Structure formats: structure tokens, C-alpha cells
Amino acid sequence: MSLNHKTFPQVVRVQTKWKIKAYSQALVPLLILQIIMAFLTSSGSGTTSLMINQVTVESYFYSVDVFLISTCIWAVITAFLIQTRGYRQTDLSAITNRATGNTANIISLIFFSFIAVIVNYMSLYILVASIQLIKGIDIFPNSELFNFMQFLVAFFIILLAASSGYFISSLFNLSKILGSLFVLVGGFLCIRVLDEQLLTIVKFYFEAGYFLFLVKALITAALLFALPVVFLNGKEEVRE
């Protein structure tokens, strides 16, 4: 019998705190990436135009699209790296097993995704405020400056990206051949049928409205996060 008996939640809590601190470096590239994206979209994220007979109305809009796409790529890579050998071995610095390690990873990724979506919105506000101040042009808000539902949607999009990265990384962890095969087939399908299939996937998630998207995204992310916990649970880690 040990004097230092630790329950599963206690171990996870300690590991999560430790991992959030240890992986906080991932936020630096995110911030730099957001600043680069802000420069790239300084003339607008997109444009729409309307013609009413002789009158043309052009509208340039600043949206979170580019910030969110770049954040999704960041989330995929961060989640992928968190499962690589180097990071996994640092788990051994604390009391751990596969289940606690994976659970702590998932909680850390959810935390980083939440920070990332806040950073996303802040980047948009900073960009627009800077343009208004520097260029002196008026920028209209064509809807509320902050919409909680849109914020949640953006958060779940990032979470989906993070869970995908985590799942792929776990496949590599399980078997390099399996992981490579999954990436190759997935990549081939995406390139081969990029326009139609990708839009079909997007439609599947969004066609029924934002609320149902949140439900679908939650189920998908939960599955993608849970599967690695299940199939990596019995895998041993050897400290080198």
C-alpha cells in the first residue's frame, strides 16, 4: 500500500496543468501566424458587389475566415505534435499511464482551442481597428460585433481540426503504415474530389443550422478524441 494514493482525476488534473504550461509554446506561432494573416488580409477578406441598374455597390468585408483557416492548420499540427515520441516521453516525468496521458492531452487541446478562438476574434478586431485608425476609412459592422453562436461555431471548427490532428497522430503512433495509408487515402480523396466532396462534408455539418452543427461537431470530436484513448490504451511506452 502506498502512502501517496492518487485517483484518476487527480493525476489527470496534475498532468493537464503541467501540459498546459509545457505546451504553451504552441501559442507563440499562433500569435505570429495571426499577425501575418492580418497583414495578408489588410485589404479585406473578400468582396461582394451589387448592381441596381446604373448603380454599383461594392462591399469589402473583414471576416474571421482567414484567421480561422490558419488556426485550424495550427490546431491540426499542434495536436499532431502532442502525440509524437518526444512529447510522449515527457509524460513520464509525472505519474502516468496511457489513459491519463491521453485524457490530459485532450483537455489541453480543448483549452488551447478555446484560447485560439479568442485570439482569432481579437485578431479581427485589432485588424479592423488598425485599418480604421491608420487608413481613416469607416468600417460598418454588418451584424453584431460579437455573436456567441458564431463564436461557438468557430470554437468547434477548431476543435474538429485539433481532434483530427490528434486522431491522425495516434494512428501513426499505433502503426506508421496505418497512419501513412490513412493520410495518403485521405489526401488522395481530398485532391481527387476536392470541390464536390469537401462541399458535401461541409454541407453535412452545416445544412441543418448552427445548433445541429454544434451537436454533430461535438459527436465527431468526441469520437476522434476517444478512439485513440481506446486503441492506444494497451500500448507500452519504452523510456529511452
Partner 1 sequence: MTVFMVVLPILLILIFFSLFLAVSKGIKLKKNFWTAKRISIVTIGYIGLGLIAFIYLTFTNNNDDYKVLTSEEIEQLMKDEIEFNNFFSQKHGDKFNEKYLVDEWSMELSTDEVTFERESEDTYGRVFVLIDWRNDEASNEIYAKTYQIPYVYEGIDLTKELTKDQFEFTGDKLIVKKPPVQQFTFNSISPKMEMLEMNVQMPSASDDILNNAAVGSTFLYLNVPSHVTIIDEGELRFYP
Interaction residues for partner 1, span 52-91 (CB under 8 A): 52-66, 68-70, 73-74, 77
Nearer to partner 1 (CB atom), residue 30 or residue 232: 30
Cα–Cα distance for residue pair 121/114, rounded to 1 Å: 11
Sequence-distant (6+) residues with CB within 8 A of 95 are: 6, 11, 14
The H or E element containing residue 142 is none
Instruction: Name which of residues 169 to 208 contact partner 1 (CB under 8 A).
Output: 194-195, 199, 202-203, 206-208
Distance (Å) of CA 207 to CA 66, 141, 216: 22, 25, 11
Closest CB 143 distance from partner 1, rounded Å: 5
Q: How far is the CB of 179 from partner 1 (least distance, A)?
A: 18
Smallest separation (angstroms) from partner 1 to the CB of 129: 4
Shorter beta-carbon distance to partner 1: residue 95 or 190? 190
Window of 113-121, 166-174, 221-229, 231-239 that interacts with partner 1 by CB under 8 A: 113-121
Grid cell, residue 83, equals 502525440
Our CB check for partner 1 shows the closer of 128 and 174 to be 128
Please tell me the total number of residues recorded for the chain in this structure.
240
Does residue 150 touch partner 1 according to CB under 8 A? yes
For position 238 contacting partner 1 by CB under 8 A, the verdict is no
Identified binder of partner 1 from the candidate list 1, 4, 144, 240, rule CB under 8 A: 144
Nearest CB to partner 1, comparing residues 9 and 29: 29
In the 8-state DSSP scheme, what is residue 46?
Answer: E
Q: Is residue 50 within 8 Å of residue 56, measured between CB atoms?
A: yes
Nearer to partner 1 among residue 74 and residue 172 (C-beta): 74
Distance CA 64, CA 75 (A): 16
Residue 109, CA distances (Å) to 23, 77, 102, 106, 219 in order: 10, 11, 10, 5, 16
Task: Give the interface segment with partner 1, choosing from 4-12, 17-25, 180-188, 216-224 (CB under 8 A).
Answer: 17-25
